[in-house]
A and B are shown apart, each in its own frame.
Chain A
Amino acid sequence: MKLPVKMTINGQTHSHEVEPRLLLVHYIREVIGLTGTHVGCDTSQCGACTILLDGQAVKACTLFAVQADGARIMTIEGLAKNGELHPIQMGFWEKHGLQCGFCTPGMIMAAYQLLERYPKPSEEQIRHQLEGNLCRCTGYHNIVKAIQWAADNMPAKR
């Protein structure tokens, strides 16, 4: 049995028939072919699959694709606009906030929501908000710095 799903991903509308058991993250990776969203665990601990779903940072492994029917999704591939990096992406580059790069897309998407909630976050707020994203390479030190850099370099909201 397959069910129809329709959603907007990075501004493009996609419609497919999928098995109800297909996870959203596998829909994004395997069906749509956007492989920037990663899978690092099977218990929703690591956060490598974090995306924005209707503006909320969610782990794409915690939802079935059919649950996201009608949703507006942004993945890491949709963050840079017209080839221009988002300040969070620039922060990760400037401050060496990544090494192997595998957790990075999820970290960046989690940071996106973090900065919406706390435009000028304290170190403690950053660390607390990243509690659901694991990195094995950086010891988090430079991820904190990257997000602070992004906070300092975000364009003012109009």
Chain B
Amino acid sequence: MNKYWKISIIIALTIMTIGAFYTHSAYSSTQLPQFHIKEERGNSELIKNVAISAFYMVDSHGEGVSIEQNKTTYDSEKSFFEQFNRDYARTDSTIKQLQKKYRNFMRGKLNISSFYEDKQLLAFADIDNNTGNGSRSFIFNISVLNKKTGNSTSFKYEIPSPEKYNHIYVEDVQYFGKELKVLTRSYQQNIGGQDVSKYIFDIPNEKLLSKEEVFAGSKTLLEYSLIPNIDPIQPSKYAVFSISEPVYEPEETEAPEPPKPKEKELVVYDLEQNKKLDTIFPKEIQKINTDAIQPYVDGSTAYFAEEADQKVKLTAFNLETGKIDNEITLPIDLKGKYNEMRVVVKDGKFYLLVKNHDMQTANVKIMIADIKTESIVFEGRLAADKNMRQSLRSLELYDIQIK
């Protein structure tokens, strides 16, 4: 046996080190801070389904992290299969769920704005931008799945005169009767401005019924931005656009100043009736800086949030009646100079995540408000197990997800 000692050492060394590396906690445990959500008041049941996704960055080290009530998961701690799938699904839980339910239909379909789902069907419309290699074409790929029968139809439609466009993408897909309506944004060749157009497809006959310019940005040189839906795939009758003068960012901005609120106008477009509504938004909503906190549309309600004097005010505006349904003010009450916010509205609740910081302090606060009763139902803070201030400062918040 003595003559085998060299090979024995190599085998033992390999098994022990590699084995230890993948099993022993000295190697597998992280020294990165562990976060949890500390409840301050309210119902802690509400925070159970909340996950904050963020990026943790200290000097040379940076990785994605997901924080739940009592659990911190860094990307490197996830299993290989989770890491492998993540890039594909782009953490979009809606797409992940659809992939589970309709595995074959969902093949190769990723763009969340391109989906529409109701009780009967799941529809998808996207545009292939082929602009390389001298050739130029923009082709609609349309597929509709009947959820009951499992049958799907799909067809293509090539947009005429492709030389006019630089690129075109889908902003929203809706379905009324037998008509699939697709809102697109097209960037023109050579001239500035973007056109918002609506394509209506007859699904049973697999053909284009009509194309209409909703807003001709290439002529007016105004910016038309669509306020996103809370759930981008659910049926939604109204599309709300914010119209403003384009702002050209001055070059060489050393210290990034908060962007000034733009002069703008809000317009409601009824996708079912194919016309603009004459809903008039009150002045106080028109002047809200929508670049600071993302507004959302949910059915016939639009939610606008605004920060002022360490308070965040949420306004629920009814698009049909043109009246303000609910208003609620959440006090932030933190000392830091800067506030970064993420908001989500889900199931009648308003979720607010604030990172408040300056040279001296760093705090991350999370608040949940019930919109109907206009009351705060949960308030809490993010806490770290070590180096609290430094750890919170190193956390770049992405968004909040409600399961």
A and B found bound together: no
Interface residues of A (CB under 8 A from B): none
Interface residues of B (CB under 8 A from A): none
